[in-house]
Amino acid sequence: MIKRLESGPRMSQAVAHGNTVYLAGQVADDPSMDVAGQTRQILASIDKLLAAAGSDKTCILSATIYLAEISTFAQMNAEWDAWVPQGHTPARATVEARLAAPQYKVEIQVIAAV
């Protein structure tokens, strides 16, 4: 069975299938914030979506983080490190990429077990 959460005409924010939930890339609700602020907002969105799918951040299998500027890596990492529980760090990649709109500084996509 496939369960779609927060579906729109173009995409779903999360799709659960079997024992896995796939989150769409999450961006900040308030893109006027700096990298740290945007990262905090995104991590809160991830928490909310995972909970709705019956999972949580301790079950994240992998994460892909896109930064508009790789020079902000340390700022993003400070928020990430405070959020991810020790002993539950997922496989992760971080890349510099042009995001969907110039005001977005961070986008995070995760896959988690349910």
Q: What's the CATH code, domain 2-113?
A: 3.30.1330.40
Q: Divide the 114 residues of the chain into consecutive groups of 10 and give the mean pLDDT of each group.
A: 95 97 97 97 98 98 98 98 97 97 97 97
Task: Return the pLDDT at 56.
Answer: 98
Task: Return the pLDDT at 78.
Answer: 98
List Cβ neighbours of 63 (8 Å cut-off, separation of 6 or more).
Answer: 90, 91, 92, 93, 108, 109, 110, 111
Report pTM. 0.96
Tokens of 55: 């999972």
Is residue 106 within 8 A of residue 95, CB to CB? The reply is: no
User: In the chain, where are the structural domains located?
Assistant: 2-113
Running DSSP on this structure, what letter comes out for residue 8? -
- Give start and end residues of each alpha helix (H) in the chain: 35-52, 73-83
